[in-house]
Amino acid sequence: MSPTFQSQNARTGEILPGEFHEATPHQIDAALRAAVDAFRTFRQTSADKRAQFLERIAAGVEAVAEDLIELADQETALGRPRLPGELARACNGARMFAAMVREGSWVDARIDTALPDRKPAPKPDIRLMHRPVGPVVVFGASNFPFAISVIGSDTVAALAVGCPVVVKAHPAHPHTCERLAAIVKDAARESGLPDGVFTMVHGRSHEVGTALVAHPATEAVAFTGSLRGGRALFDVASKRERPVPVYAEMGSLNPVFLLPRALVARGEQIAEGFVASLTLGTGQFCTNPAMVLAPHGASLDFFLSEAGRRVAAVAPASMLHRGIHQAYEQGVNRIQALQDVLVTARAAGADQSKCQASAVLFETDSETYFKHPEVLREEVFGPSSVVLRCTGQADMIRFAESMDGSLSATLHGTPEDLAEFSELIEVLQTKVGRLVINGYPTGLEVCPSLHHGGPYPATTHSHFTSIGLSAFLRFVRPLCFQDVPEMLLPEELRDSNPRGIWRLVNGVRTQSAVAS
């Protein structure tokens, strides 16, 4: 019998009824072998069948939404309005990918017809489209029990393009994962799909995750979590006899730059928005603004006063689980121990027995940052941020040039500020996956244009997004067909274009059939 573990109420520490078994090597092997078997038929299913599958998942989740929200709240303490909004985001995401599959242009079909009489050599008929890679392993995230978990963007993006999925449930909310997995399995059965299209396994040990990534049937891995965890899985995949990609999203500092004219004109409004972003979800977002840079002076003093007043007024709240709470407290203590770092404000009244976190705002100067990069450059996952006093644009550029890859960077500035600080903006574009002007990095708009990624260590591959419509690109590969007879071509590449999708034919984007 494999080891077992139990879930806890995130607020009280109470053990919740029920036990979960660590997946054995045999169970992991069986799950991935079933995924391989399912892939043979799943990759050939019609677009409409896969779209209906995703829509059934969304409908099944919505039918028991209140039960799921209550269960997830017990295990994560994320509460309302966060969890209902996140559940809606996950269901909307499934439907977004269903619509993408039906529309069909995601395959990026390209056709260059033959020129047999071309001199000095004939031109062959060449056609190209995306094809699914095969079984995908998805690691559920601790901080998004719906939107980046069993029914999250990784899972639905992979299923949409015809890849079977094996999910490793997050051990901090296993009951929620179980309920969601049952809904996905029901939807697969109702859609007439093979059992191996979707499987979920449990595990708290590193061995379970390692075995999933190392298994020879795994073709791609999606992970959202810590730098240590993501890098460990990446290294496992790289050492395989046949390496496979690990698309790990691992968080970042997400610096916010307050430019001088904007700071003078609307310091109070910026402080209000910043603190709301910092403390959203008890700061447990990978896009949390963990660093602020601004020119020193009276306007920054006013901003610190306003932001500090708001931080002090934020009610402490329970974090996702005891491990995250401990890591947050240790990170805050490391920053506080540094000489020349001041605590601008700290919320009072946290109950440590309930894993509650107090929001904290620190301040120091940019020179202190460069003296202690090993502490100040490290993300502290939770509601804390450090404000750096800068002497001018040169200080900010120095920081930007030295910073690690980040999911985002934000600037608050007037048109005049943005023109004056254009060099800083140019540097930041080489360091981040998303540039935000006069907004805040939290609260992603899930749409086709969104890119949620960034240079390492924000992610293991900055070319791809884990959120938004382009997330499917992680789970497909181009396949080229040269002089292949019409009868053997996928529908999307046939001359008649039976699905009516947009294609690039001899350099022209069209929905028309290929001329004889």
pLDDT in tens, 138-150: 999 999 999 999 9
pLDDT score of 311: 98
How do residues 247-299 score in pLDDT, each as one tens digit? 999 989 999 999 999 999 999 999 999 999 999 999 999 999 999 999 999 99
Q: Which residues of 19-53 are buried (b: 16+ CB within 10 A; e: fewer)?
A: ebebbbeebbeebbebbbbbbeebbebebeebbbb
pLDDT tier for residue 439 given thresholds of 50, 70 and 90: very high
The residue whose two tokens read 């960034």 is 454
Collapsing DSSP to helix, strand or coil, 173 comes out as coil
How do residues 44-66 score in pLDDT, each as one tens digit? 999 999 999 999 999 999 999 99
pLDDT score of 251: 83
Q: Check: CATH 3.40.50.1820 for 256-437? A: no
Region 223-234: mean pLDDT is: 96
Mean pLDDT score of the chain, rounded to an integer?
97
Region 1-17: mean pLDDT is: 93
* Residue 286 known to be catalytic: yes
pTM: 0.96
Q: How far is CA 150 from CA 14, 143, 168, 240, 473, in A?
A: 24, 13, 8, 26, 19
Region 211-237: mean pLDDT is: 97
Share of the chain above pLDDT 90, in %: 99
pLDDT for residue 154 is more than 80: yes
CA 222 to chain centre: 9
Instruction: Note whether 33 and 215 are within 8 A (CB).
Output: no
Please give the structure tokens belonging to residue 129: 């489209």
pLDDT score of 2: 85
Which member of 91, 177, 286, 355 is catalytic?
286
Which member of 249, 306, 363, 492 is catalytic?
249
Instruction: Note whether 284 and 501 are within 8 A (CB).
Output: no
pLDDT for residue 1 is more than 80: no
Share of the chain above pLDDT 70, in %: 100
Angle between helices 47-63 and 65-76 (to 10 degrees): 70
Identify the H or E element spanning 381. none
pLDDT score of 516: 76
Collapsing DSSP to helix, strand or coil, 178 comes out as helix
The residue whose two tokens read 């140019």 is 426
* Residue 249 known to be catalytic: yes
- Distance between CA 231 and CA 241 in Å, rounded? 18
Long-range CB pairs of 270-275, under 8 A, 24+ apart, other chains included: 270/303, 270/412, 271/303, 271/306, 271/307, 271/310, 272/306, 272/310, 273/440, 274/307, 274/385, 274/440, 275/307, 275/310, 275/311, 275/314, 275/359
- Distance between CA 320 and CA 355 in Å, rounded? 8
Domain(s) labelled CATH 3.40.605.10 in the chain stretch across 22-250+465-474
How do residues 440-479 score in pLDDT, each as one tens digit? 999 999 999 999 999 999 999 999 999 999 999 999 999 9
**CATH class assigned to 22-250+465-474:** alpha beta
Domain(s) labelled CATH 3.40.309.10 in the chain stretch across 256-437
